[in-house]
Amino acid sequence: MKTRLAEKIINTTGVFGNWDSNYQPYSIPQQQKALKTLKIPMSIRKSLLEYGVYGKLPKEYRNYNPFIIIRAFESKGMNPKNLKEYRKCMRELLK
């Protein structure tokens, strides 16, 4: 991965994490690889991997606020690991 692309991925993830956008186009492995490519020190990289890596959202749910959805998932004890589980949990929440 080139440095320019890695910086673009980290920037987009930062915009998503700061609630400026509800569109996350990059997958978790892409974000992890971008952090490795930028040669960020391990002490900072650990915290970024824990708090700064976000999963992609299905297209049909991008108009909802992702952080409110995450809080709702946590309150109901849901932990979707992929898009199929995410869709199932969203259907359950929206009933």
Contacts 24+ apart (CB under 8 A), 64-72: 64/22, 65/19, 65/22, 66/16, 66/22, 66/24, 67/19, 69/93
Give the pLDDT of residue 58.
79
pLDDT, tens digit, for every residue of 41-75?
Answer: 888 888 777 776 777 777 788 788 877 888 888 89
Task: Say how far apart CA 81 and CA 17 lie, in whole Å.
Answer: 19
Residue 92 has pLDDT above 80, yes or no: yes
pTM: 0.61
Give the pLDDT of residue 28.
83
**Terminal alpha carbon distance of the chain:** 42
Give the pLDDT of residue 14.
80
